Each structure stands twice: as C-alpha cells, then as structure tokens.
Chains A and B, each alone.
Chain A
Amino acid sequence: MAIDKTLVSGSMTMLLLKLLSEQDMYGYEMIDTLRQRSQNVFELKAGTLYPLLHSLEDKGLLGVYEKEVLGKTRKYYSITREGKHLLKNKEEEWKKYSNAVASVLALA
C-alpha cells in the first residue's frame, strides 16, 4: 500500500534521530536501515535525506566526523545531547498523537 508522503515527512526527523541514537551511521546506511526496518514503507530519497541531515547538524542536533572504512572516507553522523533531548520530546508527542488517532478510529 502506498503511504501518503506528508504522513512520512513530518516524522522523519524523529526516525533519523532514533536510528542515530542506537549507533552512528552514514547517509546510505540510514536509508538502507530505514528501508529494511519499515519493510520498504519508508523509501526515503537521498535528495531529501541529506538536506535534512545537514539542517539537523546545523541546529546542533547531530554531530559529524569522518572515518575511513575499506578505503572509503565516510561521513558519519552521531546524535548530540540536544538531539537526544528532542528525540525524547518527539517520541512522547508521537505516542500521544498515535494513541489519540487509534482511539478515534476505534470509536468509529
């Protein structure tokens, strides 16, 4: 089933922060992991991912460093303390929201 794009993009920041709260990753790794975990529901375009990552980094929510893996220099992203804080808030907000949606749907 195709999922409405706007439904995904609003929560993408939260999803990326969640991934990075588990381990540091580079861009391609994030897209790949998201794809696998969501059973191909989240087909995030790289053209959307990098501007988002760079803006999160600009806001101080993510940090970056370079690491050489198998002869390739990769840019790794890691979550900062501020990023973790935002993730916690977003997760709570999301739970509240999804519970509310679920209750409304159950009533109908």
Chain B
Amino acid sequence: MEEYLSTLLSQIRCEKARNLVNAEIRGHIEDQAEENRKKGMSEAQALEAAVKDMGDPVEAGVMLDQIHRPQAAWGMILLMAVISLVSVLIHVVIGINADDTMVYSGRQYILRSAGSVLIGFGAMLAVYRIDYSFMGKFAKIIAAVCVIFLALLFFVPGLSLTLNGSIGYIPIGSGTISIKYGLLLLVPIYGALLYQYRGSGYKGLLKSLLWMFSIVFLTICLPAISMAAELLLMMGVLLTMAVWKGWFGTARKRILAAFWSVAAGGPMLLAAQLFLSGRLAGYQTERFRYFLSGDTSKYDYTGTMLKSCLTQMKVLGAGEKSTAVTVPCFNSDYILTFLGTFYGLIAAILVCLVLLFVTFRIFRISIRQKNQLGMIMGCGCGLVFLVSILTNIAQNLSLLPRMGSFLPLFSFGGTGIVVCYVLIGIILSVYRYKNVLPVHLGESAAIGRGQQFGLKGGDQSPTEM
C-alpha cells in the first residue's frame, strides 16, 4: 500500500497537495481491504487485492497532478492591472491641473499617487505568493499585536500624530499612515480567528466576541466612529457566518438574534453618550450637530457643494468643473463626484460597476472555496470592499453624515490604496491554493506533517504492498 501511495503521490508536484490526496486514497484502500477481509480473504490477500483494484498509480497520479497545483487567477490580476492604470491616470490628470489650494504640488501629487499604487501592487503580488493558511495560523498573534499597539497609542505620546482631534495617524517619512484604514486588514484576520475557535463551543464564541469588541472599542476611542461601525458590521457578518455554519456548535438563531440586537443598539447608545458627554473630537461633535439639525444646507458646505455638483452633472462629458474642485477631498473621499463632473455620470457609474464586479468576484472565489479558512478570510476581504464602496457611494450622494470614507483603489491616499491591494492579494492567494488545501487544515494536514507521506504506525504491517 505504501509503495502504491508513494508512487501516486510522487507524481503530484505540489507538495502541499499531496496530503490532501493521501488521506482520501488511503481511506479508500483501507475500506476496500476491510470489505475483502469480510469476504474471507486473509489480511495480506485483502490488502493486495485492494491495491490491485486501484489501477495504475502513475496514471492516476499524473491526472491528479493536473488538478492539484497552485492556480493563478489571471483574469483578476489583469483586471487589477487595468484598474491600477486607470486610477493612476485619473490622478495624473488631477495633478496636472493642481493649483495652490492643494497640499502637494502637481508633481509631488502625481508621484505620491503613482507611488502608492505601485507599492500596493507590489504588496498584492507579495501577499499572493504567501500561502494564506500561514497568515491564518498566526491570526491570534497578529490580532494581539494590533490590539496592544492600538491600546499603547493612548498611553505613549509621540507614537502617533494628532490630526483634527484624532490620534489615528502614524508619521512615517514625509507622510502618515492612517490607522483607521489599516484596521480594515483586521477583517480577514478576524475571519481566521473565528476559524481557529472552531469547535470550541461557547468558550470560543465568547473569545471571538471579546476580540471583536476590543477592536471596535479601541477604534471608537481613536476616535474613528464610522470606521468602528463598519468594522462591527463586517466582523459581525463573519461571526454570523461562523455561527450559522455551526463552527461553535452552539444554538444558532438565539445567539444571532441576541448578537445583532446588541451590535445594532449598543453603538447608538454609546454614540449618544459620547456626544452628550462631549468626549468626541471637536469636528465630530459639529458634524453630529449639523446632521441632527435636519436642515444641513446652512452649515454643511461639502453637502451643499455635492448637491450642486450632482445637479450640474452631464450624462456624458464634462459638466461645470469649477464646483467639483472646490469640494473638500474631491480627489479622495469624493472622487466619484469629481469623475461624474469631469467625465460625465457614466464614468462614475462605470467605476462603481467595475468595483462591484471585483467584489462579486471576491465573494465568488471565497464561496466556491472548499477550504473553510480560505472561505471566511476571502469573505472578509469581500466585505471590506462591499461596505467601503457602498458607504462611499452613499457619501457622494449625501445620504450619510460627513465622515471619512474612500473608494477602494480609486481614492487618493496611501494607506487606503495599499490596504485594498493587500486584500486582493489575500483573495488571489485563496484562489491559488484552492485545489491544494483540504476542507479543514488541522486533521488532514497533520497526517503528512511528520513523515513524508503520512505513514501511520498501524499501516506498517509486513504484508503492505
């Protein structure tokens, strides 16, 4: 039997995939041998007949090798290349037309936007090459480091930069890293955490909730309330998936009903409390007040400008350009309004559709993934895209109060851009190993770890083939 298995497995070039095949074929031979024994064959005969029944190991191995090898989602990589190019071109145009109202000069601006896309693309390819199960294995450590770092921000002055009352920026070189956008990377990591607590019952569920609430709580304290709400929503959906799939073996409906009522009601109470006690940063209190006052036209400059841009937009071609460039953050938060005004409504809609298509692809790859860690991490990436895109569209249409948001892959800004590329890198890695990793990593993978083809003690009878 071992000879058969090692001949078959040696045809499969991807070593990681061998474990996946090994367990299944071995189980089959054992089943057949047992059946043969029941028919009255001796131990040796039963195993010999079972192996003979399998057919030619080389032929089977070659066929399996064709299927089980790392795969590249070329379509997705190509799509990303095109999106990157368009995104850079958009910002080159903005840079060329830059006036002195902008923070950077035209040349600086172009270099910065192209630079972050380049760094992002590089990061995407790097993450793509890493086996995501490796990231999954260290999920707890990664999450713990992030939570400790976030907590330290409040105690160690100088670790972060305070901008507009928010401490969420880390100075690096001549720029800053936005912590709040960086936190989005924790969503797929949270998925991996959930996977690690699989099978540990209510205790695992409790730990998962503790992780979620500590991340959300620290984000609120930054303060980055809208990001905290987004994180709560995205992690909540992942938790719902895990509970629904029975990962914790707990009651499902009651737990989920309780979770969502706390998750939806709690933040509203907390926000009200923070607002009333005056612990928000100055600009946040102002935004709340304006939004609550109902008639925002008197106070809300951005909102008024956005509305006027929207009414002046043409379906195709440039509308009234002068208003669009006076919208604050027109090149980042309100890039859609900018595109709509400069190139027509069609351009803005097209960009949204392309991004929604990318999101759809992410979810499709994830859901089709048999490895459950890849499935949940992939869904985490998809959720970040979906929630960010929808929030940003709502912002551009003035459907939500003013808050920082970004359009994935298109908004100007280092951290947001790089984070999106890393998320795409994760999904590419999930796709890459889709035929290589088993449904669950623990048991099947453990067989092959110690010995090359997973020789189990009991199998080594003198009669083996």
Write the residues of chain A forming the contact surface with B, with a CB cutoff of 8 angstroms.
26-28, 32, 45-48, 50-51, 54-55, 57-58, 60, 63-66, 72-75
Whether the pair A58, B435 counts as a contact (CB closer than 8 A) is yes
A107: min CB distance to chain B, Å: 39
What residue of chain A has the Cβ atom nearest to residue B439's Cβ?
A66
**CB within 8 Å of A: which B1-49 residues:** 8, 21, 23-25, 27-29, 31-32, 35
A18: min CB distance to chain B, Å: 21
Alpha-carbon gap, A54 to B32, bound state (A): 20
Collect the chain B residues with CB atoms within 8 Å of residue A54's CB. 64, 67-68, 435
What residue of chain B has the Cβ atom nearest to residue A65's Cβ?
B439
Alpha-carbon gap, A26 to B31, bound state (A): 11
Whether the pair A50, B68 counts as a contact (CB closer than 8 A) is no
Alpha-carbon gap, A66 to B63, bound state (A): 23
- Interface window among B50-58, B277-285, B318-326: B50-58
- 5 pairs of A and B residues whose beta carbons are closest in the complex: A47-B55, A47-B60, A45-B55, A51-B63, A28-B31
Contacts known (A65-B439, A66-B440, A73-B443); A48 close to B60, Cβ less than 8 A: yes
Alpha-carbon gap, A51 to B67, bound state (A): 8
Whether the pair A72, B27 counts as a contact (CB closer than 8 A) is yes
Looking at chain B's contact residues, the main secondary structure is helix
Contacts known (A58-B67, A64-B370, A72-B27); A47 close to B56, Cβ less than 8 A: yes
What residue of chain A has the Cβ atom nearest to residue B52's Cβ?
A45
Alpha-carbon gap, A72 to B29, bound state (A): 13
Q: From B21, B31, B368, B443, give the contact of A50 (CB < 8 A).
A: B21
Alpha-carbon gap, A72 to B370, bound state (A): 20
Indicate whether B99 reaches chain A with its CB closer than 8 angstroms.
no
A50: min CB distance to chain B, Å: 7
Contacts known (A47-B54, A47-B60); A28 close to B25, Cβ less than 8 A: no
Collect the chain A residues with CB atoms within 8 Å of residue B32's CB. 28, 46
Collect the chain A residues with CB atoms within 8 Å of residue B35's CB. 32
What residue of chain A has the Cβ atom nearest to residue B50's Cβ?
A46
Collect the chain A residues with CB atoms within 8 Å of residue B60's CB. 46-48, 50-51
Collect the chain A residues with CB atoms within 8 Å of residue B434's CB. 58
Whether the pair A50, B24 counts as a contact (CB closer than 8 A) is yes
Whether the pair A45, B54 counts as a contact (CB closer than 8 A) is yes
Alpha-carbon gap, A57 to B21, bound state (A): 14
What residue of chain B has the Cβ atom nearest to residue A29's Cβ?
B31
Whether the pair B23, A73 counts as a contact (CB closer than 8 A) is yes
Collect the chain A residues with CB atoms within 8 Å of residue B53's CB. 45-46
Whether the pair A75, B55 counts as a contact (CB closer than 8 A) is no
Provide a sorted-by-A list of 20 A–B residue pairs whose CB atoms are within 8 angstroms.
Answer: A28-B28, A28-B32, A45-B53, A46-B29, A46-B32, A46-B55, A46-B60, A47-B8, A47-B56, A48-B55, A48-B60, A50-B60, A51-B60, A54-B67, A57-B370, A58-B435, A65-B370, A65-B439, A66-B443, A73-B444
Whether the pair B368, A60 counts as a contact (CB closer than 8 A) is yes
What residue of chain A has the Cβ atom nearest to residue B368's Cβ?
A60
Indicate whether B59 reaches chain A with its CB closer than 8 angstroms.
yes
Alpha-carbon gap, A72 to B439, bound state (A): 15
Collect the chain B residues with CB atoms within 8 Å of residue A64's CB. 370, 439
Alpha-carbon gap, A72 to B434, bound state (A): 24
Collect the chain A residues with CB atoms within 8 Å of residue B59's CB. 47
A8: min CB distance to chain B, Å: 14
Collect the chain A residues with CB atoms within 8 Å of residue B444's CB. 66, 73
Whether the pair A47, B24 counts as a contact (CB closer than 8 A) is no
Collect the chain B residues with CB atoms within 8 Å of residue A45's CB. 53-55
Collect the chain A residues with CB atoms within 8 Å of residue B24's CB. 27, 50, 75
| Max chain B Cβ within 10 angstroms of own Cβ: one of A45, A47, A64 | A47
Whether the pair B27, A28 counts as a contact (CB closer than 8 A) is yes
What residue of chain B has the Cβ atom nearest to residue A55's Cβ?
B67
Given contacts A28-B32, A51-B63, 11 further A-B contacts (CB under 8 A): A46-B28, A46-B32, A47-B59, A47-B60, A50-B60, A54-B435, A64-B370, A66-B443, A72-B27, A75-B24, A75-B439
Alpha-carbon gap, A89 to B1, bound state (A): 39
**CB within 8 Å of A: which B134-174 residues:** none
Contacts known (A46-B28, A72-B27, A74-B27); A51 close to B439, Cβ less than 8 A: no
Whether the pair A51, B28 counts as a contact (CB closer than 8 A) is no
Alpha-carbon gap, A35 to B9, bound state (A): 26
Alpha-carbon gap, A73 to B441, bound state (A): 13
B357: min CB distance to chain A, Å: 19
Collect the chain A residues with CB atoms within 8 Å of residue B31's CB. 28
Collect the chain B residues with CB atoms within 8 Å of residue A28's CB. 27-28, 31-32
B133: min CB distance to chain A, Å: 16
